[in-house]
Every structure is written in structure tokens, then in C-alpha cells.
Chains A and B, each alone.
Chain A
Amino acid sequence: MTGHDLPTIERWRRAFARRSAVDTAVDPATDTTPTPVEPDTIWRAVRGELPAAETRALVDRLVDDPELAREWRLAHELVQSLDTTDAAGSDDSVGDREGTVSAFPVAPAVDAPRRWRPRAMLAAAAMLFLGLAAFLLLDTPEPTPPIWRGEDVAIESALPAATVLPRDAAELRWRGPEVDDDATVRWSVDVLSETLEPVSRATDLDTPHLLLELSRLEPFADGTVLLWRVTARIDTADGEDVVRSTTFRTTLGPAHSASGGASGAID
């Protein structure tokens, strides 16, 4: 397949943009007007501040709701001009973003052109390095910042907060990321003690939970904080995607029989 020619794509963009509610209403007599989305929600979605699931749900609505699509584009224009302000030294910027649409599409094997400035790339590299260092050298009880920024909502712990994990039923559970029905997900989990001693490592899991073996927990006293991180490998018709969670913290407690029963503690 050859690349898509930009004039055609620009024509599609214009046609998509100039749709009206009348164009998309299946039957004006029975069609119900979509419930308007709060402008604040649109703004946060365009800024990348909404949870991924909410953003995707909103994107799904853009197809059949031209007014929402127009409001989205208006937000996008303003966010881009705000980013120009941010680049000039203002605060409240959220993440890295491209100012304009790239000259896509090219063949999938070729990276889209980067428009980052060298200093921004250096800063990003430094942040990544510091994030990895934080994971490897973590020795304080403070919560670890997300190692891969922006992916913390893709995989979430499914353990209830503020409780202790019984060592004889030490099951780590998580949710996400969302995938299509035809995609397959395999997870791997790394578990370390707070002093970075390896506790357990599991790969190629096909269900989103991991029961830690009691024998592996014996060297660790009650109250030990376990650090665990999940990596999801998603196979789809469009290729493999890798999504990593933030680092979760779970306190190890006495055996279920000794503690009277408790489960799950993470932050």
C-alpha cells in the first residue's frame, strides 16, 4: 500500500469538519439530540487530562455529533495557542504536544517527524533517566512518581486501598488497559521489596492477577512494603503495543488466619 496523499486527506478533513447535525441525523423525526458534553470535559480531553477511557468515549461521539466535533476543534485551536504561551514561559502546561498536525501518513515503519527542540529532548531524556533511577534506588516510604508519565491510568491496581495483603493469599490484581475484542493481552509483573530485593517475577500471564507464593514471601517481615509494576503486551492486527503501569505499593501482612482476614493495600 502506498502512502496517503495529503491533498486527499485535507479534503477529507474539510468534509469532516463541515458536517452539520442535519447531515448526521438518521431520522430527524425520531433522532434524539445528543446530550451536550460539559465544555470543561472537552477541554480536559483535548489537554490530555481526562482518564483514557473517558477520552476514548468522547472520541467515539465525535463521529456522530458534528457540533461536539466542532467544539473539540475549537478547544484544540485554543490549546495550541495556549501551548505557544506555555513555551514562552507560562505555567500549567500539560505534557509535550505538537503544535500542528504532522505531515503524516508515511509507511508505518517510518517514525513521524519529530518537532521537538534539542533542549526539550534532553529534558525528556533526563526525566526518563530520573524516573528509572527512582525505581531502582527507591528507599523512602513516599509514593513513587509514575515512571512512564501519562500511562498511569491505562493500568490500575484492582486492590482495595488502605488495607494489608495477607501473605497466605497475597494476590496482586489489576485492571486494564482497554483493548479491542480482537486483541490479546499478556501481562508481566515485577515485585520488589522496598529495599529492592527481588520478591517475584512473572511473565506471560493471560489473566490480570498474580498470586505470590508463600515461600517467596517468607524472607520478608510483616509490614514490608512491596513494590510492583505491571507491563501489558497487546497484540492486535495493527501490531504490538506495550503499556506499563506506574509502580504500586502494597503492604505485606500476616497470614490470613493470623490476621483475621484482610486484603489489598496500595496507593
Chain B
Amino acid sequence: MSATDLAARADRPPSEPGLDAGAEEERAMARLHERMVVAVRKTCPPTLRDRADDLVQVAVLRVLKLRRERPERTFSDGYLYRTAYSALIDEIRRLRRRGEVPLETPTDDGDERPLVEPTVEDADPEQRAGARELGVAITDCLGRLVPDRRRAVVLYLQGHGVPEAARLLRWGAKRVQNLVYRGLADLRGCLEAKGLDGGLAAGKGATS
């Protein structure tokens, strides 16, 4: 089954009358493929994004193999996603070990695009250099935070909301909210002390 086939099958309406188990499986795999491609394109550097279809195809094939080796067993979506994720990470790491993708994210030139969301400022190489400088500074400043504040802030920067971070860390939501709030204030102070005004590289001209 090719990536194109999977994408086409993901578009079919759900629960068509008379749809057999095989067709249902194809739809489930197509949906999984589609979501994984979106996730790779959203979180990975360009060198990996450009190979998203191939990477995900390897992961989906592993899931298909698992299901076909044990047809008597019903796998939950959670299990299948976990299996696919493991296969995807294995494949990404394999590419890195073989040197097929660079460890370093392109910065000053080339086809660099932001990893999270595209913005106008990222079109400017100088801005990209500023962002890189900021990333290094953030790493250093995070290392200086009180451990619990650092954990809460790291999860927040990783995209977790406060309730979710509280659940992962097994702390109360109110406490995590305080930790994030104060941790971000500490981070801002540290960045300002480094000459990065409120998270903006001094002299880079970016404003919000």
C-alpha cells in the first residue's frame, strides 16, 4: 500500500454500509498515516519533513505487520499509535546514525522554516540567527531555574498546557500554574540579563 493510496483512503467517509473489516483496517491505517505525517511536518526540521511520507510509511507498515501476524487479537488505537511512534523514532534515529540527515538545524541560510508555526520574522536570516541565539540562551537560563520551576516551564515550552503538565508531573494544577508563572518571570529576567530584551535578541529588530 503506497502513501498515496493511504492518503486517498483516509478521505473516505466513515462507517460506510457494508464496509468489511479489511476496508476498516485500511481506513484506520490511512488515518494513522495522515496524522503522523502532520505530526512530523509540524515538529521535525526540514530535512525530516521532506521525508515525512517515507518515514511514516515505515511506521505504518510495522503496525500492519503487527496486526497481520496476530489477526485474532484486537489492538487498541493507543497501542497501535505507540507502536507506530516507536517505529517512526527508530527510523529517524537510523537516518541520523547513517548521516542521512544533519544533527544541526539549518539556520543562517537555506530552506529553513520554523519548526512550530511559520511567521514572517523567520523569513529573515538575521532573525533566524537571533532565534538561534535565543535558543542557546533559553537553554542556559532554564538550567539556572529552581528544579520544579524548570520542569513546569520546560513542559510549557514543549506545548503542554497547565492542566496537562500538572497531570504528567503529578502536582496540583494551582501549583503548576504558580511554577510556570514564576519560572517564566525568572526566564525573562535571565534573558534580559544576557541582553536579550524580553526574549528578543538585542539589536535584531524583532518586535511583537
Interface on A for B, CB 8 Å cutoff? 1, 4-5, 7-24, 36, 38-40, 42-48, 52, 55-56, 59-60, 62-64, 67, 69-79, 81-82, 85-86, 90-98, 100-102, 104-105, 107-108, 111-112, 150-151, 153-154, 177, 179-180, 182, 234, 236-243
When distances are taken between beta carbons in the complex, the residues of chain A under 8 Å from B2 are none
State which of B79, B155, B171 has its C-beta within 8 Å of the C-beta of A92.
B79
A78 adjacent to B172 (CB under 8 Å):
no
Whether B151 lies near A8 (C-beta < 8 A) is no
Tell me the smallest distance from the CB of B87 to a CB of chain A, in Å. Answer: 8
B89 touches A71 (CB 8 A): yes
Q: Are A72 and B158 in contact (CB under 8 A)?
A: yes
Chain B contacts of A73 at CB under 8 A?
A: 43, 158-159
CA distance A213 to B147 in the complex (A): 39
Q: Are B181 and A105 in contact (CB under 8 A)?
A: yes
Whether the pair A60, B114 counts as a contact (CB closer than 8 A) is no
Q: Are B76 and A90 in contact (CB under 8 A)?
A: yes
B135 at the interface (CB under 8 A from A): yes
At the interface, is chain B mostly helix, strand, loop or mixed? helix
Query: Complex: how many Å from CA A30 to CA B176?
Result: 36
When C-beta atoms are compared, the residue in chain A nearest to B151 turns out to be A59
- Which residue from chain B places its CB closest to the CB of A240 in the assembled complex? B175
Choice from A59, A82, A98, A234 contacting B78 with Cβ under 8 Å: A82
In the assembled complex, how far is the CB of residue B109 from the closest CB belonging to chain A, in whole angstroms? 15
Q: Which of A74, A90, A234 contacts B40 (CB 8 A)?
A: A74
B65 at the interface (CB under 8 A from A): no
Tell me the complex Cα distance, A79–B164, Å: 12
Q: What CA separation (Å) do A16 and B135 show in the bound complex? A: 5
Interface core residue of A17, A108, A179, A180 (most chain B CB under 10 Å): A17
Instruction: Give the distance to chain B from A145, nearest Cβ to Cβ, in Å.
Output: 17
B161 touches A52 (CB 8 A): no
Residue of B nearest to A2 (CB): B185
Report A-chain residues with C-beta under 8 Å of the C-beta of B175: 234, 236, 238-241
Interface contact B76-A60, CB-CB below 8 Å: no
Per the bound structure, the CA–CA distance linking A266 and B136 in Å amounts to 48
Contact A4/B188 with A39-B89, A42-B89, A77-B39 known, Cβ cut-off 8 Å: yes
The one of B31, B82, B134 that contacts A43, using a Cβ cutoff of 8 Å: B82
6 A/B residue pairs, CB under 8 Å, sorted by A: A13-B116, A17-B157, A63-B150, A74-B44, A81-B35, A108-B182
Which residues from chain B contact A237 at a C-beta distance below 8 Å?
Answer: 146, 182
Type the 1/0 row for B118-148, where 1 means its CB is closer than 8 Å to any CB of A. 0100100000000110111011001100111
Query: Who on chain B is nearest to A107 by CB?
Result: B181
B31 to chain A, nearest CB (A): 8
Partner of A154, one of B81, B132, B170, B200: B170
How distant is A149 from chain B, measured CB to nearest CB, in Å? 10
| Contact status A52-B44, CB under 8 Å | no
Question: Which residues of A have CB within 8 Å of B89?
Answer: 39, 42, 71, 74
Is A55's CB under 8 angstroms from B169's CB? Answer: yes
Binding site for A on B (CB under 8 A): 31, 35-36, 38-40, 42-45, 76-79, 81-82, 84-86, 88-90, 92-93, 96, 103-105, 114-117, 119, 122, 131-132, 134-136, 138-139, 142-143, 146-151, 154-164, 167-175, 177-182, 184-185, 187-188, 198-200, 206, 208
A72: chain B residues within 8 A (beta carbon): 158
Which chain B residue shows the least CB distance to A59?
A: B151
Using CB atoms, name the residue of chain A closest to B102: A20
Q: B146–A4 contact, CB under 8 A?
A: no
In the bound complex, residues from chain A placing their C-beta under 8 Å from that of B38 are 77, 81
Contacts of A97 in B (CB 8 A): 163-164, 167
Residue in contact with B43 in the complex, picked from A21, A70, A238, CB distance below 8 Å? A70
Contact (Cβ within 8 A) A20 B39: no
Residues on B with C-beta less than 8 A from A16 are 135, 138-139, 157-158
Q: Which residue of A lies closest to B171 (CB)?
A: A241
Residues of B within 8 A of A104 (CB): 156, 161-162, 177, 180
Name the residue of chain A whose CB is nearest to the CB of B145: A63
Once the chains bind, are A23 and B136 in contact (CB under 8 Å)?
A: yes
Contact residues in A for B146 (Cβ distance below 8 Å): 180, 182, 237
Contacts A63-B139, A112-B173, A241-B175 known; list 14 others, CB within 8 Å: A5-B208, A13-B116, A20-B45, A60-B150, A62-B154, A74-B39, A78-B36, A78-B81, A94-B78, A95-B167, A96-B163, A104-B161, A105-B180, A105-B184
